[in-house]
Amino acid sequence: MKLSYLFSIVISLIVIDSIAQNNSFFYEVELNSGVSSEKTLPFWMTANKFGKIPNSNYALTTATFGKSFSNNNSNKIDFAFKGSITGSIAEENDAIINELYASLKYKKVRLDIGSKNDEIVFEGLSSSNGNFMKSTNSRAIPGYNLSTVDFIELPFAKNWLKFKATYGDFWMNDERYVDNTLLHQKSLHFKSKINNKLDIITGVNHYAQWNGTSLSSGKQPSGFKNYIKTVTGSSGGSEASILEQINALGNHLGSYILQFDYKGTKTNWNFYISHPFEDRSGRELMNYPDNLYGFFLDLKKEKALITHALAEITYTKHRSGNAPHYTDETGYHAASGRDEYFNNFVYLSGWSYFKNVIGTPYILTNDKEYGTDLSLNRFVALHVGIKGFVKNIGYKMNIDYINFDNWYDSNENMDYNQFSTYFEINPKLDKIPFEFYLGSSIDLGNLSKNNIGGFIKIIKKGKF
C-alpha cells in the first residue's frame, strides 16, 4: 500500500516539470518509502537524515520551495529563503518542518533566521559531517546565525592566513526535561596557507544550553546577565545549581578541529581530527585520545568506479581517565575523569533534539519521553564510505563496525558489537524527468536485533 502511495503522485512531478524555468527560485518534491524486517529500521536508514525518517516502516512526502542567492554583486544585499515540510505515514503519523528560514547576504557576511540545516561536507560520506559535536542526525534548530561567507583574508596576512566565524542563538522547542532550553553557538576557524597545494585549518566550535524550566529543579537562570555568563563560560550565581556555581553556568560542550586540505592535479584529500570537550578536562586535552579521525579522498573523476572515498575512526573510551567525582565531609570534589559525553546533570535531555542526537549518531537516545538515556556513549567505531559509478549508475555505500564498552565500575558484562551497512544506487536515466534512488541497509550484532531494510526514493527538482 505504501509503495502504491509513493507512485500515485509521480505523474504530478512530470506536470511540474513543464513549468520549470531557469531562475533563482527552486522547488523539490520527494517521495520516499522504506520497510524493514523488524519494527524499527536499520541504523543507517534513519541516522544522518536530519531527523526526517521515522524509525518504523514508512511512506513520506517532502515538499520544498525556495530562492537561492542571485545577486553576483557583493556590494548589494542579496536575499534567499527556503521552506521544507515532510508528512509521513508510519507507526506514528507525523508532519514536520524540516527547514524554514530566510537569509541575507552582504559582501562577506551572512545572516540566517529560522531553521536551517548545516551544509553537507565530504560528499555526505562522513559519519558525523566532519564534526564530532554537530552531525546531520537531527532536525534544524530555530534561531539566528550570523556568519562570514567562507574564509576571509586578514588584512595583515598577505594571503597566508584567513578566518571564518559564526555566532548564533537558538530555541530548543521540542519536548525536553528542561522546557524552553536555549542554545548559544559560536565558532572561529583559521586557514593557514602552507603552499599552493596545502592548507591547514584550526578552529573551535562552542555550544551552550541554558535557560528554561526543569521538571525537577524548576526555573533555571535567565536574562541578559546570565546570557553573558553563558557566552563567556563564567560560573553561575546563587540562583544556579551548586555545580554550575563551581564550574560554568549551563551545559557547555564543543569541539576543536585540526584539518589538512590538499588540492593536487589528480587528487584532493582532507585529513581531519575533531576533538570533543564538555568541561575543563576536555578543553585542556586530558581526554586526548577521544576524537573523530578522518581521511577523505577526491579522485577528481566525474564518473569512475570510485570517485570519492572516506575512512573514519571515532573513539570515546578514554574520557580523561577513571578519576570519579566524590563527596566527603569537606564537601563536593569535582574530578577531571569520566567525561559523560552528551549528558548533563541539569539538562537531562542532553545533546539531543526531537529525540535524535545532535552530534555523532553512534551515541543513541533510548528514553522515548525526553531522550534522556545517552548512556551508550563509550565506544570505538570504524567507518568506511565510498561513492562512484558502475557504467551509468551512481552508487554510495558505507560499512561500519562499532564496539561499546562498560561504564567505569559497572558490574554489567556489556560488550556490544555491531555491524551496520548502507548501500544506495542512483541510475542516471535521461528519459525520466526525476531522480530515482533504491537502497538497502543491514544491522548485524548483539546491540540490536539483526535487521535488514530497504527503501525507494523519487525526487523531482526544478527552477522557476
Block residue for cell numbers 515532510: 86
All three cell numbers of 334: 569535582
Given this model, what pLDDT does residue 432 score? Answer: 85
Name which of 260, 251, 246, 238 is nearest 206 in CA terms.
251
Ramachandran area for residue 217 (φ above 0: left; ψ -120 to 50: alpha; else beta): alpha
Given this model, what pLDDT does residue 4 score? Answer: 42
Whether 207 is in a domain gets the answer yes
Q: Rounded to an integer, what distance in angstroms lies between the CA atom of residue 256 and that of residue 272?
A: 10
Q: How far is CA 254 from CA 75, 87, 131, 260, 276, in A?
A: 34, 33, 10, 20, 6
Whether 138 is in a domain gets the answer yes
Given this model, what pLDDT does residue 297 score? Answer: 98
Whether 58 is in a domain gets the answer no
Domain of 161 in residue numbering reads as 114-377
Whether 92 is in a domain gets the answer no
- The whole model's pTM is what? 0.88
Q: Rounded to an integer, what distance in angstroms lies between the CA atom of residue 357 and that of residue 142?
A: 16
Given this model, what pLDDT does residue 8 score? Answer: 43
| Backbone phi and psi for residue 420, each to the nearest 5 degrees, phi listed first | -135, 135
Name which of 173, 125, 51 is nearest 386 in CA terms.
125
Could you tell me if 301 and 307 are in contact, meaning their C-beta atoms sit under 8 angstroms apart?
Answer: yes
All three cell numbers of 453: 531494510
Given this model, what pLDDT does residue 1 score? Answer: 41
Whether 325 is in a domain gets the answer yes
Whether 446 is in a domain gets the answer no
Given this model, what pLDDT does residue 318 score? Answer: 80
Given this model, what pLDDT does residue 415 score? Answer: 80
For each successive 10 residues of the chain (464 residues), what is the average pLDDT?
A: 41 40 80 97 97 96 95 82 97 95 95 98 98 97 97 86 97 95 98 95 97 91 93 72 67 96 96 91 83 97 95 90 55 58 89 95 79 79 98 96 77 81 93 92 93 97 90
Q: State which amino acid sits at residue 430.
A: D
Cα dihedral sign, 434-435-438-439: negative
Name which of 451, 352, 361 is nearest 402 in CA terms.
361
All three cell numbers of 329: 565531609
Q: Rounded to an integer, what distance in angstroms lies between the CA atom of residue 374 and that of residue 368?
A: 11
Whether 150 is in a domain gets the answer yes
Whether 168 is in a domain gets the answer yes
Q: How far is CA 286 from CA 108, 176, 347, in A?
A: 37, 31, 24
Rounded to the nearest 5 degrees, what angle is found at the Cα of 83, between the Cα atoms of 120 and 121?
5
Q: What total number of domains does the chain contain?
A: 1
